[in-house]
Amino acid sequence: MDEKEIQSFLIISSVVLFILIITMISLFILFKKRKNALLLKNEFAKKHFEQEISKAQIEIREETFRNISWELHDNIGQLLTLAKIQLQNNSSVDEVKETLNKSLKELRDLSKLISPDALKNMSLEQAISGEVNRFNRLNFIESKLTIKGQQTKIDSKTEIVFFRILQEFFSNTIKHAKATHLSIILNYQTDMLIITAKDNGLGFDLNEQEHSGLGLTNMKNRAKLVNAHATIISEPNIGTKLTITYKL
């Protein structure tokens, strides 16, 4: 190998090596940077998710307090008042006893329903059926829960979100819809859970702006949070239907 060859070898090999090393380093730095950025973004998304879950939990709790106050006043309060009137009117002891027994039973049911441990370990079905029973007991609305297919365990955070969405729907139905019937279906398919809630109330026009107060967007966003999809269909004087689809 002559001098000239050695020289060109040195030049070529150093150029090739230089380019190789520069490429490797830039690839490494680029991906490292991008990875950090993505991690940060994911961390932020996770935090946001946790916040939203907490918010839903707080709202569920607030709703529960409202229900307790309602039930104490409308149900147990009424029974106790009746007992008092019965005493004043010198009704038979048996009659008064029966009224008091009834109120005690209601009180026990309520206390069982709202104990924190019971609330924590409740499945979605139990939580919904608790609501349905309450609506029926207090004669708010005639409600029915149907479960189809093989029940599958879903994540408790997802359950919280679904329950909160349904609770909002129920509260809309009771407050605004003047409905007489409410039906809830939990349909477990092999790879899907479809939750439908339907009332036969006044309904509304989905295009009208004034219904933004009903929290429809909130329901949809909440569903999106747990990778589910919520749709609300409503027709004036026919009723409103909420469908949540969730991939198991």
Partner 1 sequence: MDSTYSYFLSYSINALELMAAIVALIHYKKYVNSSERYFLFFLWLTFFTDTILGPLFGYLELDNNWVYYVYTGASFLFYYWWYYTILVEKFYKKIIIVLSIIFMILYFINSTNVEFHRYSFVIGASFVLILAGFHLHQLFNSDYTLKIKYKLSFWITVALVLFNIGMIPFILLSKYFNVWVGNSTFKIILFVLNIVLYGSYIIGFTWTKKKYNHF
Reading the block at residue 202, the tokens are 């006044």
Closer residue to partner 1 (CB): 8 or 51: 8
Q: Which stretch binds partner 1 (CB under 8 A): 22-30, 85-93, 157-165, 232-240?
A: 22-30
Q: β-strands 192-199, 181-188: how paired?
A: antiparallel
Closer residue to partner 1 (CB): 39 or 85: 39
Nearest to 216 by CA among 181, 169, 170, 176: 169
Position 19 contacts partner 1 (CB under 8 A): yes
Q: Which stretch binds partner 1 (CB under 8 A): 8-16, 132-140, 157-165, 216-224?
A: 8-16
Q: Which stretch binds partner 1 (CB under 8 A): 24-32, 57-65, 78-86, 143-151?
A: 24-32
Enumerate residues 39-58 that contact partner 1 by CB under 8 A.
39, 42
Decide: 75 and 138 in contact? Cβ < 8 Å.
yes
Decide: 107 and 95 in contact? Cβ < 8 Å.
no
Give the list of residues 6+ apart from residue 2 with CB closer than 8 angstroms, or none: none
Position 248 contacts partner 1 (CB under 8 A): no
Decide: 147 and 193 in contact? Cβ < 8 Å.
no
Closer residue to partner 1 (CB): 29 or 93: 29
Position 1 contacts partner 1 (CB under 8 A): yes
Position 150 contacts partner 1 (CB under 8 A): no
Closer residue to partner 1 (CB): 175 or 247: 247
* Strand arrangement of the beta sheet that strand 192-199 belongs to: 142-148, 181-188, 192-199, 239-247, 228-235
Q: Which stretch binds partner 1 (CB under 8 A): 4-12, 125-133, 136-144, 149-157?
A: 4-12
Position 38 contacts partner 1 (CB under 8 A): yes
Q: β-strands 142-148, 181-188: how paired?
A: parallel
Position 29 contacts partner 1 (CB under 8 A): no
Per DSSP, 174 falls in state I
Nearest to 144 by CA among 114, 113, 170: 170
Give the binding site for partner 1 (CB under 8 A). Answer: 1, 4-5, 8-9, 11-13, 15-17, 19-20, 23-24, 27, 30-31, 34-35, 38-39, 42
